[in-house]
Amino acid sequence: MSFYDIPSDFVSKLTGKYESAVANEHIVFAGDSAISEIVERKVKDKTYEFQLTHLETLKKRPAKGSKEENPFAKPEPELTILDSYGPNDEFRVVFNKFPVVPNHFMIITKEFVSQNTPLSPIEINASYSILTHLKKHDRSGKNWFAFYNCGQQSGASQPHKHIQFMTLPNGYTPPIDSIANSSPAFIPSAKQEPLQDSSLPFAHYVARLPDDISDLNEDDLTMYFSSLLQRALTTLKQNGHNHISYNFCLTTKYMMVVPRASGYYKDLLGVNSCGVMGLFLCKNQELVDLVKHDGPETVLASVGLPNTSGEPTDEYHY
């Protein structure tokens, strides 16, 4: 695979600049005060892990941005990790000012591009290139994932296109991992449906990627994404939704697209791609209690669409 150039000192720059930005209060994060717990839920015949995190600094994060008040138009130098990235230097790599975990960062487009647009082949390759670099060079042992919240009901908070990168909690296994790890690599099509766990009560379309990255190229990544996206768009249409909203999650092992019906649960809890990875971010204890009481799987079923596992498909779904 042809990777985009990433500086050899990217990881040290990432960690060093993050520590400096936090110390000088350019990043708003009180990670020491975060309260997290793993909740196990039995759904049908399987048991899944979900992490609920109470993080007070989420109250300081703007609920919705606008093109006119756009923090990505001229990002703060203290938050900028790479001022140019990509084959045509069309991206910047910057920290999230209101991170969920340490070193939480993003790829952003230099020019304004709407968050409602699908990922381009260059954006997918740029994301995968960073993930493979982190897997090789990050000695912390953390597992990274990238995610993109697309559309008005996806949980996106800023209209300027951005792809986010976070680490998973130590020892945590997302609900999707078991089915992704049980399959060989394949590009979904009408003849071979995307992976979907029939026990989870929401539609989620998953494709396992090759273990050997030399077996993967930019065209392959684009085909993986486009096949999953088309399946999600079909599901949105079949359920009467005229908006295009979905979450995209990417690791070095798999990618997933989850169509979304709503950005909020009961108009109280915002759910984005972290939620579909089983990570619930709550700005107060009341929301933690809500998720515990109703069940994480119930929340995801409400903001998503019905699971389509086992339903017949044809070429018109793709």
Q: How far apart are CA 31 and CA 56, in angstroms?
A: 9
Query: 3-state class of 204 per DSSP?
Result: coil
Q: What single-letter DSSP state applies at residue 62?
A: -
**Would 278 be classed as within a structural domain?**
yes
CA distance 110 to 92: 6
Neighbour-count burial of 231, counting CB atoms closer than 10 A to its CB (0-12 exposed, 13-18 middle, 19+ buried): buried
pLDDT tens digit string along 223-233? 999 999 999 99
- Give buried/exposed letters for 42-57 (b at 16+ CB in 10 A, else e): ebeeeebbbbbbbbeb
Give the CATH number for residue 285: 3.30.428.70
What kind and span of H or E run contains 162?
A: strand 162-167
Asked, for residue 188, whether it belongs to a domain, the answer is yes
Residue 267's region, left for phi above 0, alpha for psi from -120 to 50, else beta, is: left
Residue 318's pLDDT is 44
Q: How far apart are the first and last CA of the chain?
A: 25
pLDDT tens digits for range 284-316:
999 999 999 999 999 999 999 999 998 877 655
The pLDDT of residue 134 is above 60: yes
Which residues on neighbouring strands pair with residue 269, listed in sequence order? 265
Q: What is the pLDDT of residues 88-107, one digit of tens each?
A: 999 999 999 989 899 999 99
Q: Give domain status of residue 175, yes or no.
A: yes
Residue 4: inside a domain, yes or no? Answer: no
DSSP code of 309? T
Distance of CA 101 to the CA centre of its chain: 14
Name the one residue in this structure whose structure tokens are 């990509």.
86
What pTM was computed for the model? Answer: 0.94
Give CA–CA dist 208/45, Å, rounded.
23
Number of domains forming the structure of the chain: 1
User: Is residue 57 assigned to a domain?
Assistant: yes
Asked whether the CA dihedral 151, 123, 215, 166 is positive or negative, the reply is: negative
Cα angle 71-72-78, degrees, rounded to a multiple of 5: 80
CB 153 within 8 A of CB 247: no
Cα–Cα nearest to 297, from 49, 129, 75, 105: 49
Q: 38, 274, 228, 180: which is closest to 299 by C-alpha? A: 274
Average pLDDT over residues 144-162: 94
Q: Is residue 85 part of a domain?
A: yes
> pLDDT digit string (tens) for 169-198?
999 999 999 999 989 999 898 788 999 999
* Encoded tokens for 61: 């994060």
Q: What is the mean pLDDT of residues 252-265?
A: 97
Residue range 40-61: mean pLDDT, rounded? 88
Task: Give me the active site residues, please.
Answer: 162
Q: Which domain holds residue 55?
A: 10-317
Per-residue confidence (pLDDT) for residue 26, from 0 to 100: 95
Is 225 contained in some domain? yes
Do the domain assignments include residue 2?
no
H or E, element range at 233: helix 218-238
pLDDT score at 64: 62
